[in-house]
Amino acid sequence: MSRSPRSLRLLTRLLVVPVLAGGALVPAVDAAAQPALTTLTGTVLQVHGAPPPPGSHEPEDVRAAVQVGDRVLELDGVDAESLPSGAPVQVRGRVEGASLDVGVTGGTLRQLGAAPVKATATGVRSLLAINVSWPGGTLHETPALEDAFLFGPDDRSVQSWYADVSAGRLSWTGAETPQLSVTDPGTCDLYALSDRAQAAAVAAGYDPSAYSAIIINAPALHCPSAGYGEVGGRRTWVQDGLWDLSSGYGRLVATHEIAHALGLFHSHGLECGSLTDSAECEAASATTSNEEYGNAWDAMGNNWPGDVSDAVAEFSAPQLLALGWLPSDAVRDVTASGQYALAPLEQSDATGARVLVLSSGARRYYVEYRQPIGQDAFMAGFPASVSGVHIAVRDTGSTDTAAFALDTTPHANQPGDYTDFYDAPLQPGSTFTDPAGDVSITALGSGRVQVQVGGSAPDLVVDAVTTSPTTVLAGSAVHLSATLRNAGTAALPAGQSLRVAFLLAGSPVAWYDGVPGPLAPGASTTVTATAGPGGGTWTPTAAGTYGLKAVADDDGRVTESDESDNALRVRVSVVAPLPDLSVSAVSWTPSVPQPGSTVRFTATVRNTGDAATVAGAPLHVQFLVNGSPVGAYAGPTPSIAPGGSATLSATGTWSVPKAGDFRVKATVNDDRAVREVSTDDDTLRVTLTVPRG
């Protein structure tokens, strides 16, 4: 069967028209002695070939069939890759054996709906191996070899592989027929072979329909590939391929084909020549830039590194996602820039993310970290595959559910040369940016990545540092705040946590750790430290000037457009605590003096400072009337506590000369004997009125 996808795609489109217009739905006989055309309504099955063995550059082989009830016919004359597996179709063509040729005059194909296959694969599934032979064609298989190969306890068996990779979610049981004699189709006619094999199995007492899937093992398929599988169907084919546990490629083919039956497509590679990715390359991913089996680290890819190690690589993350084999907490949809840590994809008991999913329009980028664990143990021999992270891209609009591996060290467009993808993973220190500039991924090593999403980025700067209280006293705790501004072009996302550290001589004394956003470009917010060695406050021990540095995002959680402008240095003056004296009231006796009275003044002295006055130390209060001294207090005082006051009376007196108003001025600490915060408030002026007799 020859294929020419591009011209057939055109043919398919043209052929749809008569059906839509005429609606001829029944078998019809064409004129001029043509055999009858048959119209069938059924479901598309894509039939995918196995990847070629190492060193072989055989092209990909993707076929299509239509299932009508229990009957399946291979479709000739169609663009198989354009027909989504699982979609309902109406086809009209000529039946030839186990095929329906749509490419004949009057042939039509009409897709009736979109129904991409959804892979489902949990629980116990059953597999019947139907072994057939014919004169001149026999198999290596014995029931014991085949049972060990498919279902045995050996780590290399197909069942062991699935149990391992699915973390126990899927297991295979089943049976094998003896070698059943059938007629050799002689050509690549998978459905003729399938029909004969199933008929022989039924005759031998087996019920193929009772199994989840069948695998037809024949001496030869006469096809380009060593195995085939229906995507989302139940038929698979291998070529004398179920006996040699020591052959990595042999195990790959069987493992790969029954994965098609689970609904999986191939794990592709995006071949963009000297580029990792480009918009043009992605647009052509269905055709010229598709390396059909390009993911070298996936049983649905070419598995060449596994083949040469007699190993079968595990599924990459997109396939595990399609199968539902990753718990939700292992999948992280990344919507905020920042640093993320990945656990190894193979580590099924890991907590935290094992795959990051980043979106750019309809495209999804999948980031995974692989380690030589379980079936991937062979990857230890390929250091680049385990030192970096693997990135694949998928267009969610595509009916092909598989993703395209990205080669982050592209060399050249070498069709069929999968070794170009051995070095596909992104190595530590390297960055991948998607063609739209929406997604940027930098590998940091050990499964850690720095991710930037949204195309532009926030940029955090500190505009000011403030203390509370404003005056910083030696020995007293002070709260530290920073005015944080987003100087970038993208918002700091809601939910993005970050730290702002306050450092003295390089050591943090306190820090803020919280979610300050969202913070739009240009917006500011003030954050206050709540944690640190002093419980979130800073207590300077001595007076002096301190260099304090505030650093936004000091532990690098936020991906910023500029990481170099995050710090602000300020000088903080720390003062020793002092009393602060003031006169809050002046009184006198007698309270209503007459001309000739002898008056004694008293001042109420308050301490509004932060330190007590020293008990017994000299404290002077001077009283003036109309500018002339009229006595003073000069005795030793008790200590006046902060907030406290003392009532101090003059030792001298004033003799009232006459009636009238007198200006009374009381000044505490007029001799500056007490060191205090401020002498500005040391004086109180009042008026004393002597009434006329």
Amino acid at 293: Y
Closer Cβ to Zn ion, 48 or 394, answer by number? 48
For residues 529 and 542, what is the distance between their CA atoms, to the nearest angstrom? 21
Nearest to 228 by CA among 57, 65, 399: 65
Nearest to 125 by CA among 228, 230, 260, 262: 262
Closer Cβ to Zn ion, 221 or 632, answer by number? 221
Length of the chain counted residue by residue? 693
Closer Cβ to Zn ion, 159 or 225, answer by number? 225
The two tokens of residue 507 are: 């050591």
Residue least distant from Zn ion (Cβ): 48
Closer Cβ to Zn ion, 268 or 549, answer by number? 268
Q: How far apart are CB 414 and Zn ion at their closest, in Å?
A: 21
For residues 429 and 408, what is the distance between their CA atoms, to the nearest angstrom? 12
> Dmax of the chain from CA atoms?
151
Closer Cβ to Zn ion, 263 or 536, answer by number? 263
Q: How far apart are CB 190 and Zn ion at their closest, in Å?
A: 13
- The answer to whether the beta carbons of residues 572 and 549 sit under 8 Å apart is no
Strand partners for 42:
89
Q: How far apart are CB 50 and Zn ion at their closest, in Å?
A: 5
Rule CB under 5 A: is residue 48 a binding residue for Zn ion?
Answer: yes
Q: How far apart are CB 378 and Zn ion at their closest, in Å?
A: 20
Q: How far apart are CB 299 and Zn ion at their closest, in Å?
A: 10
Closer Cβ to Zn ion, 48 or 606, answer by number? 48
Segment interacting with Zn ion (CB under 5 A) among 45-53, 172-180, 191-199, 653-661: 45-53
Nearest to 463 by CA among 527, 418, 399, 534: 527
Q: Which residues from 299-328 bind Zn ion, rule CB under 5 A?
A: none
Q: How far apart are CB 61 and Zn ion at their closest, in Å?
A: 8
Closer Cβ to Zn ion, 262 or 677, answer by number? 262
Q: How far apart are CB 266 and Zn ion at their closest, in Å?
A: 5
Q: How far apart are CB 49 and Zn ion at their closest, in Å?
A: 6
Segment interacting with Zn ion (CB under 5 A) among 48-56, 319-327, 426-434, 601-609: 48-56
Strand partners for 89:
42, 111
Nearest to 516 by CA among 567, 480, 482: 482
Segment interacting with Zn ion (CB under 5 A) among 40-48, 344-352, 481-489, 498-506: 40-48
Segment interacting with Zn ion (CB under 5 A) among 46-54, 122-130, 442-450, 583-591: 46-54
For residues 433 and 43, what is the distance between their CA atoms, to the nearest angstrom? 40
Q: How far apart are CB 255 and Zn ion at their closest, in Å?
A: 10
Query: x-or-dash pattern for Zn ion, window 606-625, by CB under 5 A?
Result: --------------------
For residues 122 and 228, what is the distance between their CA atoms, to the nearest angstrom? 22
217 Cβ contact list (under 8 Å, min separation 6): 129, 130, 131, 132, 139, 141, 146, 237, 238, 239, 240, 241, 242
Closer Cβ to Zn ion, 48 or 235, answer by number? 48
| Number of residues lying near Zn ion (CB under 5 A) | 1
Amino acid at 427: Q
- Long-range CB pairs of 441-446, under 8 A, 24+ apart, other chains included: 441/358, 441/365, 441/367, 441/389, 441/391, 443/388, 443/389, 444/339, 445/387
Segment interacting with Zn ion (CB under 5 A) among 28-36, 44-52, 402-410, 552-560: 44-52
Residue 599 has φ and ψ, to the nearest 5°, of -110, 135
Q: How far apart are CB 265 and Zn ion at their closest, in Å?
A: 8
Segment interacting with Zn ion (CB under 5 A) among 42-50, 328-336, 469-477, 521-529: 42-50
Closer Cβ to Zn ion, 48 or 363, answer by number? 48
Rule CB under 5 A: is residue 234 a binding residue for Zn ion?
Answer: no
Closer Cβ to Zn ion, 225 or 607, answer by number? 225
In this structure, the dihedral spanned by the alpha carbons of residues 190, 191, 196 and 199, taken in order and rounded to 10 degrees, is 140
- The answer to whether the beta carbons of residues 297 and 309 sit under 8 Å apart is no
Q: What is the CA radius of gyration of the chain?
A: 43
In the complex, which residues of this chain contact Zn ion (CB under 5 A)?
48
